[in-house]
Structure 1
Amino acid sequence: MRRSLLAVAVLTAALAGCNREAPSAPANAQDGAAATAPSPADAAFAELSKRYLDEVMALSPVSATQIGDHRFDAEVDDLSAAGRQAGLDFNRRYLAELGAIDFDKLSRENRVDALILRNQLEYGIWDTEVMQSWAWDPQTYSGLAGGAIYGLMAREFAPMPERLKSATQRMEKIPTILAQARENLDPARVPPTHARTVAAQNKGVLALIETFITPNADQLQGQDRARLDAAVETLRAAVEEHQAWLDGTLVPNAKGEFRIGAEKYDQKLKFALNSSLSRQDIRQRAEAELTRIRDEMYTVAQTVLEGRDGAPETPAQPTEDQRQAAIEAAMEVAYADRPGRDEVVEYARHTLDVATDFVRKHDLVTVPNDPVKIILMPEFQRGVAAAYCDSPGPLDKGLDTYYAISPIPDDWTDAQVDSFLREYNKHMLHVLTIHEAMPGHYLEGAHSVNHPSTLRAVFRSGPFAEGWAVYTERMMADAGYADGDPLFRLMQLKFYARAVANAILDQGIHVDNWTKEQALDLMVRQTFQQQSEAEGKWTRAQLSSTQLATYFVGAQEHFDARKAAEAARGEAFNLKQYHDDMLAQGAPPVRFARQLMLNEDIQ
């Protein structure tokens, strides 16, 4: 899972940006003379892009910090009615200006950027007016409050005293964010799971203070230090006040429906994924792929179980029960090889070294020297996923990428810990590292940030990023990672089955009104997830919609793009060159990357 830089901004209809110029001319050599003499349409779009990217930051200062524009580091987003209206007016104004440009006369590169911008402007308007997350999703506010501090303090983009001064001013404003949450949220519309989750996360903001602010507070002196101390105390009181409201008002009265229904789901899917695949296409392909995966897992299980005492029968034509028993038995072999409770992070560090060496040795894709660090997931981010990749913003050059892993909670029972470590055994941790770091999210981010279009960088596609990470899991296995160890292949297939199940689960819950029992059957029995993982995914599926589909949809489009490139290039196809070319596109929706690479129509 790649932590989205745009999550907060989407909700305020100010999606992100920066103050650098967008390219005024196309980057493709095939555009010829236009590279030195842009058309009037290209010139108009470049001017619009520059203004948009320069102005949008004031509407979403927290996202601006994450992107790497630090002009508004002392400010926070305004989620009041007036702030939402300002975002709507801004998006409508730029949508009208964009509509006046003849897309057919734009260069291919600029046409892609214009289509991406139009989609995001329409998405922002739709989210504010139709989805109305501000009225029923308390995560909107908790994520903003935590991100306001984390974005300033997690990376050394400026000297610590400077960042502490900005953090002081933001801490003074966070109580307003919490007050806006109490003003805007309608408990009757807030789903119970959302209320309980945010109530549990609320004090994570204070954990950020203890982690980042308190240990460094002595770097400020005099009035600056006094103001910081006062801001911390004011924030502590505001968090406690908000906690009392969450526990006493929101949680007891949260009666909303977390399922968003078919109409909103289809609309959000179109905006959020910007894919060529419809909901029906996704479901059909996912169900067919799940059948294929289970067949392949059975074949691998036959290899794992061969000659083992007490192993179940593995006939060439198994019944469904025989297939299930064989795969489960083979997985038990992998589950037995697991790290200790306190060894997960250290073993993940080892897997990062192994994966990096393998990619370089087999020359699969260019590996830059950008730093990546494994860290414990910040408390305010926990509860959604076991790990994520947190890349620096496109303007924060040379800063660390974080591969964040959620530690096992201290209050977990032995049974919960056992379930977690079975799921994240040593073989699965290799797969997780491939997905999150090398050559998955970390490597993709390190390449994509070099694309000249800043607009494309700040609107980077979730399906491109997540799909690439899933694609690399299979690509590494096919290349012989782990010396072809069948237990690694089994875990890779299991992890891929999770991605497939995510797409089915997302629709099943939000469109087909699945019960928890139906969801757990898909996750635990059909795709072999541990109970703790499945329980967590059930919660995550309630807390979000369409995001779970990005893994499968993006992967399918990446697999399709590679097949098309192999067919087009024939014997001249080179895998490393293909990967480098794909990552050089700047992470637009995969269909646009494919169209640019293969000179297909942009649509």
Structure 2
Amino acid sequence: MRVRPFAVALMTAALTPATLMSCKPSSPPADGAQPPAADAGPSSTQTDTAFAALSKRFLDEGLALNPVSATQIGEHRHDSEIDDLSEAGRNKAIAWNKAMLAELGKLDIQALSRENQVDALIMRNNLEGSLWDSETMQSWAWDPQVYSGLAGGAIYNLMAREFAPMPERLKSATARMEKLPALLAQARENLDPARVPKTHAETVAKQNKGVLSLIDTFITPNAGQLTGEDRKRMDAAIETTRKAVEEHQQWLDGTLVPNAKGEFRIGAERYDQKLKFSLNSSLSRAEIKQRAEAELKRVREEMYKVAQTVLKDKPGAPELPDAPTPDQQQKAIEAALELAYADKPGREEVVDFAKHTLDVATKFTHEKDLVTVPDDPVKIILMPEFQRGVSVAYCDSPGPLDKGLDTYYAISPIPEDWTDTQVYSFLREYNKRLIHVLTIHEAMPGHYLEGVHSSKFPSTLRAVLRSGVFAEGWAVYTERMMADAGYMDNDPLFRLMQLKFYARAVANAILDQGLHVDNWTKEQAMDLMVKQTFQQEREAEGKWVRAQLSSGQLATYFVGAQEHFDTRKAWEAKLGDKFDLKQYHDKVLSYGAPPVRFVRQLMLQEPIQ
């Protein structure tokens, strides 16, 4: 799923997975806040009204400070602007965050309606996280991804979706290209090579010219739609951008990469703080680690039971005792996985097979009546060429403030320039059964369906600050839920692939702490990924780099799923025989995707905290 981050005045588009854009959002009230509860008294109503006004200011002023994210979210009043990461710009953002926190602190949160209590706590977490990053973490001083993300997003967010006529978007892109040299100059001014980790420097050095590929992909082919002075200005802006990117490339290659000596590990104290802001979860670091390690053990035991089933009486099968040694367990699971790996789509069959899995998953969800399915199906498209080669598919939805734009389930054909070896490795990982799991996760009843439901909640603030933990957790939850409901129940190898895919989410949470808190070596990380959770080595190598480049985000999938599982268990315990799975799912999805802990508190009438 495309996780689109937005942290107001954070001055980076790459830190917190604070939002996941909703799918086809409904029109929210103008004030951006949830209306007061029906039984609210006079003082509560006054407080809710004051919070509605503050929410509107938060969005209006915050999006103005973050114009690149604003475009992504669907606020297009700032499409010609770009974020200011100069010292003056950062100080302005810090002052604004502190002022907003002070205004929020004047409100009696307990006097708000329960829904607005949730929104107020989400807002506070966002503001405090922004300040923490600006003043303590200081990503602007050591993470060059902050700048590369903004430079690419400045163009991509304008051109990837048809929210306005092409000439209008080209004019906005022209204005932003004119400002890109200043952003890149701010990067060179702000970044201290001694604090920049080597992997970060090398990664951004490879990505830098991607801005030019965006111009070549989106702007140059449409240049004829501008004429006269507008065309001249755009051509000049393109040339200015090319020169600025080349100048920046020389600095990256000649100064930053050779002198990058920073530590990518952020340490326990900062990791705990970052988890607090990026996950907004009820689970602590210690609880996440404990649960993930226990879950990995359980999942491997379940995978072994499937292996016993599919390998029984197979010629040359490994030993399959009921109480296996670790080595016997490993060999049996690997042998069973080979049976699934062998059933791959052909090189030219990936797109058609992914479409088939969407039909199957949609039909099953309907027939089992697991959740209310939207009337309008998700649109299937070919993944844009420059985004291919990382995964088979993703769900791409518009920003919550964009109205009437399509949601896409993008499917990737195999790139034409891939070698047979690359294709073989890729399709072993994304075999037919795993593509079924992927479609459940990305589309039905995962991200696409969740987005349609969640978008109906009327709070604009909650839509803009949607929880990636909720959305990713829901998608992981649905993988197991569908398997438990009998999806491909006559095929144990599907269950094996579902467990393998889930083991990846579990491993992500362990890996994240292992690197940033426990000082893991690459060998330890690769053992977890390749041996313990059966990932292909090519994929594990990429994850090793990703884990260095980020912190906190890899825990999103596991933490969100665990909180969803916990919430369902608590609701089942409360209702007993009256529990209805469809009603439960519809209710969970009706809250607009806040952090999962708030969904549980709202459903179970617990204190909002």
Task: Identify the residue that residue 21 of structure 1 maps to in structure 2.
Answer: 31
Q: Give structure 1 stretches of 5+ with no counterpart.
A: none
Query: 1:456 — aligned with what?
Result: 462
Match of 2:236 in 1: 230
- Counterpart of 1:274 in structure 2 is 280
Structure 2 residue aligned with 1:426 = 432
Q: Which deviates further from its counterpart, 343-352 or 265-274?
A: 343-352
Paired letter, 2:57: R
- What is the alpha-carbon distance in structure 2 between the residues aligned to residue 273 and residue 439 of structure 1? 23
How many angstroms apart in 2 are the aligned matches of 1:319 and 1:125?
50
In structure 1, the residue matched to 2:595 is 589
Q: More displaced, 13-22 or 507-516?
A: 13-22
Q: Are the counterparts in 1 of residues 382 and 413 from structure 2 also a CA contact under 8 Å?
A: no
Corresponding position of 2:25 = none
Corresponding residue SS for 2:38:
helix
Instruction: Tell me what 1:215 maps to.
Output: 221
Counterpart contact for 2:73–2:398, Cα < 8 Å:
yes
What letter corresponds to residue 43 of structure 1 in structure 2?
A: T
Change in Cα spacing, 1:250 to 1:410, as seen in structure 2 (3 Å) is farther
Distance in 1 (CA, whole Å) between partners of 2:416 and 2:188 is: 31
Deviation, structure 1 residue 385: 6.8
- Taking the TM superposition and a 5 Å limit, the aligned residue runs for 1:171-190 are 171-190=177-196
> In structure 2, how many angstroms separate the alpha carbons of the residues matched to 1:447 and 1:375?
25
Residue by residue over 1:8-48, the C-alpha shift from the partner in whole angstroms, topping out at 9 and shown as x without a partner, is: 9644499899994123523xxxx433299952221211111
2:389–2:414: 8 Å Cα contact kept in structure 1?
no
Deviations along 1:161-185, one digit per CA (max 9) or x if unpaired, are 1111111111111222212111111
Runs of 5+ consecutive residues of structure 2 not aligned to the other structure: 22-27
How much does 1:397 deviate?
A: 2.0
- 2:133 aligned with 1:123: no
Q: Does 1:567 align with 2:580?
A: no
User: In structure 2, which of residues 98, 102, 105 is the aligned counterpart of residue 99 of structure 1?
Assistant: 105
2:157 corresponds, among 144, 147, 151, to 151
Aligned to 2:383: 376
Q: Which residue of 2 aligns with 1:139?
A: 145
What's 1:4 paired with? 4
Aligned pair in 2 of structure 1 residues 554, 261: CA closer, same or farther (>3 Å)? Answer: same
- Give, in whole Å, the separation in 1 of the partners of 2:418 and 2:314: 34
Alignment of 1:489-568 (within 5 A): 489-568=495-574
48, 55, 62: which one aligns with 1:49? 55
Q: TM-score normalised to the size of structure 1? A: 0.94
- Paired amino acid for 1:6: F
Secondary structure of 1:359's aligned partner: helix
In structure 1, C-alpha distance between the alignment counterparts of 2:30 and 2:390, rounded to whole Å: 33
Residues 124-171 of structure 1: per-residue CA shift (max 9 Å, x gap): 000001111111111111111111111111111111111111111111
Deviation at 1:235, TM superposition (A): 1.3
Decide which of 300, 318, 323 is 2:324's aligned counterpart: 318
CA drift of 1:106 comes to 1.1
Counterparts of 1:386 and 1:252, CA distance in 2:
35
Q: Distance in 1 between matches of 2:441 and 2:10?
A: 25
3-state DSSP class of the match of 2:188? helix
Q: After the TM superposition, which of the residue ranges 524-533 and 476-485 deviates more from structure 2? A: 476-485
Kept in 2, the 8 Å contact 1:8–1:143? The answer is no
Residue pair 1:389, 1:441 contacting (<8 A) in 2 also: yes
> 1:403-482, aligned counterparts within 5 Å?
403-404=409-410, 414-482=420-488
Letter in 2 for 1:313: E
Sort the Cα spacing of 1:405 and 1:138 in 2 relative to 1 into closer, same or farther, 3 A: farther
Specify whether residues 539 and 361 from structure 1 end up closer, same or farther in structure 2 by C-alpha distance, changes over 3 A only: same
Residue by residue over 1:177-228, the C-alpha shift from the partner in whole angstroms, topping out at 9 and shown as x without a partner, is 2121111111111111111111111121122122211222211121112222
> Compared with structure 1, are the counterparts of its residues 382 and 238 closer, same or farther at alpha carbon in structure 2 (3 Å cutoff)?
farther
Give the partner amino acid of 1:376.
M
Q: Give how far 1:7 is off.
A: 6.7
**Structure of greater relative contact order (alpha carbons < 8 Å, 6+ residues apart):** 2
Deviations 1:298-341 (A, max 9, x none): 11111111232211121222111111111000000111111234
Check 1:8–1:517 CA distance in 2 against 1; reply closer, same or farther (3 A cut).
farther
CA contact (8 A) 1:384 1:536 kept: no
Give CA-to-partner distance per residue, 1:486-525, whole Å, 9 cap, x none.
Answer: 1111010001001111111000000000000000001111
Residue equivalent to 2:120:
114
Q: 2:355 aligns with which of 349, 355, 373?
A: 349
Task: Compare 456-465 and 171-180 and name the one that shifted more.
Answer: 171-180
Quick check: 1:382–1:406 contact (8 Å CA) kept in 2?
A: yes
CA distance in 2, matches of 1:383, 1:273: 29
Given candidates 254, 263, 266, the residue that maps to 1:257 is: 263
Tell me the secondary structure at the aligned position of residue 39 of structure 2. Answer: helix
Structure 2 vs 1, CA of residues 580 and 534 (structure 1 numbering), >3 Å: closer, same or farther?
same
- 1:52, CA displacement in angstroms? 1.5
Q: Distance in 2 between matches of 1:310 and 1:461?
A: 48
- Residues 445-490 of structure 1: CA deviation (Å, up to 9, x unaligned): 2221211111111111121111001000001111111244111110
- Once the two structures are superposed, residues 381-416 of structure 1 have per-residue CA deviations (whole angstroms, 9 ceiling, x without a partner) of 789877543321111122122345677666655444
Describe the shift of the 1:227–1:373 C-alpha distance in structure 2 as closer, same or farther (beyond 3 A): farther
* Secondary structure of 1:2's aligned partner: coil
Judge which range, 267-276 or 384-393, deviates more. 384-393
Report how far residue 344 of structure 1 moved: 3.3
Q: Look up the match of 2:24.
A: none
Q: CA RMSD in A?
A: 2.3
Amino acid corresponding to residue 25 of structure 1 in structure 2: P
Aligned positions, number: 598
Letter in 1 for 2:32: A
Tell me: CA distance 1:244–1:101, structure 2 relative to 1, closer, same or farther (3 Å). Answer: same
For residues 406 and 121 of structure 1, do their structure 2 counterparts lie closer, same or farther at Cα, with a shift above 3 Å needed? farther
1:62 and 1:147 in contact (8 A); partners too = yes
Matched, 1:331 2:337: yes
Question: Counterpart of 2:478 in structure 1: which amino acid?
Answer: T
SS at match of 1:33: coil
Q: Is the 8 A contact 2:447 2:471 kept in 1?
A: yes
TM normalised by structure 2 equals: 0.93
Q: State the distance in 2 between where 1:386 and 1:542 align.
A: 24
Q: 278-287 or 364-373, which moves further after superposition?
A: 364-373
Distance 2:391 2:555 in 1: 15
